[in-house]
Structure 1
Amino acid sequence: MQMSQTNPQAAFWNSDAGHAWVENQAILDHMFAPFETLLAASVHAGEHVLDVGCGTGATTLAAARQAGPDGRCTGVDISAPMIATARIRAAQAGLGASFVCADAQHYPFDGGAFDAIVSRFGIMFFADPVAAFANLRTATRPGGRLHLYAWRGADENPFMTAAERAAAPLVEVPPRLPGQPGQFAFADAGRVHAILRAAGWEGGAIDPVDVACEFPAAGLDGYIGRMGLLGRVLPTLEAPRRREVIDHARRAFEPFVRGETVHYTAACWRIAARADVIRR
């Protein structure tokens, strides 16, 4: 495992948070399936692709299917539980995707090894985003490209903050700190442009996209109980109190439930750039 154990993100994603993603893999894959399609469409047959923050591997496997037998797809993530699950899924699918448990900010990728870098919500957690994107630039061949998705602001994504807002009167929820690594760290498009330029990427384009997402309503309690900021707090509570908080928070999701399905819009940035110029 190529990562510093003093890295707060390494500690976080290798603890209960990583296991929560594994436990909710089916829900999250269903929810984010549209992004698999969007990212896979950017991959060409025979390409070598790196999936950053690959989690349990859904987007890496989608890219591998698109790249075909002559391609090579590698997923990298800081979470050992998620990488272990991704490797099992690749073996079960009979796909040649490989996975590295590492911090992509520091990992010594082979220079110019990849035709494309893709990511679905895996790039907002770097301690030093400029250093991370410079490292990814080194790993990309001249003419290679980025195709990434990151969240826009919290105010544009009410589904993602519904649980913590609803539960705030009942329990203390960790605050979201502007500018710190986390889900909405790339909300400011100007900051993202600056990061890409400083890291040596060319022709950066950051476009707003709204993606319709859904998942079965039967999975909502599991989602509330294990994911997001509230999901960090609930495991510390006694069972009756935990049930009370979940029931209270669930009411905040009523506007998103239609019949047996939860629907919401993911307000995101689509980030694209080129590795056209060798920076020294």
Structure 2
Amino acid sequence: MTNAPLPPSQHDLWNGPAGDAWVQAQTLLDGMFAPFEPLLADPLAAHPDAQVLDVGCGTGAVSLAIADRLGLAGHCTGVDISAPMIAVARERAAAAGKDIDFIVADAQQHAFAPASLDHIVSRFGVMFFNDPVQAFRRLREALRDGGSLHAIAWRSPAENAFMTTAERAAAPLLALPPRAADGPGQFAFADAGKVQALLRDSGWRGIEITPLDVRCSIARDDLPTYVSLLGPVGQALRAEGLDPATRASVLATVVDAFAPFVQGDRVVFTAACWSVRAE
């Protein structure tokens, strides 16, 4: 086994292997995370004229759900650092006949028009900022008075066994890139106190951080695709130089490790998250 490589920058990651993997797995991921869409989109039906920003919009599922709830005077904009994912989001919006603007940009750096938005939402998109205080300050400045933030982020790895099963099973077999202890990354917002502090330091008020447990699932037949595409294990399995026999052996071992989550023809798990609200 060779030493684990250093993790790439967020820009390189999401415009490279991770972005490509999410594009390939778009349908699978949309199904897995579909229960989160109404949590973010349904409240906006009461504000049909709202101007809404979807941060870390990925391939556009939440943005499309929001556009369905808005009226003719309302508008949704999605922003993501990943050009491959934004390309898919634009295609999906065009196919659905939805007028959604999709921007390829780092929301931490992008010059949003001041006081131009009513609501900001995010499904798993706010944990990847290099400087979250700067990012949330910039987002706050883009809101009008009375505007709101609603973001959903993962709690700890210990509370999300499904999300760490592949890494734990593959760790003895593959050199995996280390997870940064304090992010940016999937579990960067695991500590609610830390999230409270960074929002307060970036000027937000009315901060509410509450546990959110959501039942998610994928088809059992999709589990090998999930493992071979996504996360650190998927990245390692797709690496050049990994011989096919080793890849097949590791994939089989990792898929078997998900047995506790298998219920008939589905793989079922609870996503342990935070619902983060501020104004």
Both proteins in one fold, TM over 0.5: yes
2:94 to 81, 91, 96: 91
Following superposition, the deviation at residue 167 of structure 1 comes to 0.7
Counterpart in 2 of 1:102? 105
Deviation at 1:122, TM superposition (A): 0.2
Residue-pair matches, total:
268
Q: Is the contact between residue 46 and residue 72 of structure 1 (CA under 8 Å) also seen in structure 2?
A: yes
The answer as to whether partners of 1:212 and 1:266 remain within 8 angstroms in 2 is: yes
Gaps in structure 2 of 5+ consecutive residues: 1-7
Q: Any runs of at least 4 consecutive aligned residues in structure 1 with deviations exceeding 6 A, and if so which?
A: none
1:167-182 maps to which residues of 2 (within 5 A)? Answer: 167-182=170-185
Cα deviation digits, residues 184-239 of structure 1 (max 9, x gap): 00000000001111111111000001000011111110100010111111112222
Structure 1 segment 33-182 matched on structure 2, within 5 A = 33-43=34-44, 44-182=47-185
Structure 1: gaps (5+ residues): 1-6, 275-280
Contact 1:86–1:99, Cα closer than 8 Å, also in 2: yes
CA distance in 2, matches of 1:30, 1:190: 31
> Which whole-Å CA distance do the structure 2 matches of 1:162 and 1:56 have between them?
25
Instruction: Give TM-score scaled by structure 2 length.
Output: 0.94
Which deviates more, 201-210 or 36-45? 36-45
In structure 2, how many angstroms separate the alpha carbons of the residues matched to 1:33 and 1:23? Answer: 17
Determine if the alignment matches structure 1 residue 242 to structure 2 residue 243. no
In 2: Cα distance, 1:169 partner to 1:73 partner: 45
1-side partners of 2:186 and 2:225: how far apart?
19
Give how far 1:42 is off.
2.3
Could you tell me how far 1:68 is from its partner in structure 2? Answer: 2.6
Task: Provide the residue aligned with 2:31 in structure 1.
Answer: 30
Residue range with higher mean Cα deviation, 253-262 or 100-109: 253-262
Matches of 2:217 and 2:170, distance apart in 1: 22
CA deviation after TM superposition for structure 1 residue 64, in Å: 0.8
Could you say what secondary structure the match of 2:210 adopts?
strand
Shift of 1:37: 0.9
Cα-to-partner distance string for 1:131-167 (whole Å, 9 max, x where unaligned): 0000000111110000110000000000000001001
Question: 30-39 or 171-180, which moves further after superposition?
Answer: 171-180
Query: Offset of 1:172 from its aligned partner?
Result: 1.4
Match of 1:3 in 2: none
Deviation of residue 173 (structure 1)?
1.4
For residues 250 and 209 of structure 1, the distance between their equivalents in structure 2, rounded to whole angstroms, comes to 27
Provide the rounded CA distance (Å) in 2 between the counterparts of 1:49 and 1:239. Answer: 46
Give the structure 2 partner of residue 278 of structure 1.
none
Q: Who is 1:18 aligned against?
A: 19
Question: Is the partner of 2:183 in helix, strand or coil?
Answer: coil
Residue 4 of structure 2 corresponds to which residue in structure 1?
Answer: none
Instruction: Give 1:57 deviation, angstroms.
Output: 0.3
Structure 2 distance, partners of 1:218, 1:227, is: 15
Tell me, what secondary structure is at the counterpart of 2:77? strand
Find the counterpart in structure 1 of residue 3 from structure 2.
none
Verify the 8 A CA contact 1:42 1:147 in the aligned structure 2. no
Give yes or no for the alignment of 1:185 onto 2:204.
no
Q: Provide the secondary structure at the position in 2 that maps to 1:268.
A: strand
Partner residue, 1:8 = 9
Which residue of the partner structure matches residue 4 of structure 1? none
Shift of 1:19: 0.6
C-alpha distance in structure 2 between counterparts of 1:242 and 1:188, whole Å: 35
**For the residues of structure 2 that align with 1:164 and 1:97, how far apart are their CA atoms?**
36
Quote the RMSD (CA, aligned, Å).
0.9
Alignment identity in percent?
54
Matching residue of 2:259: 254
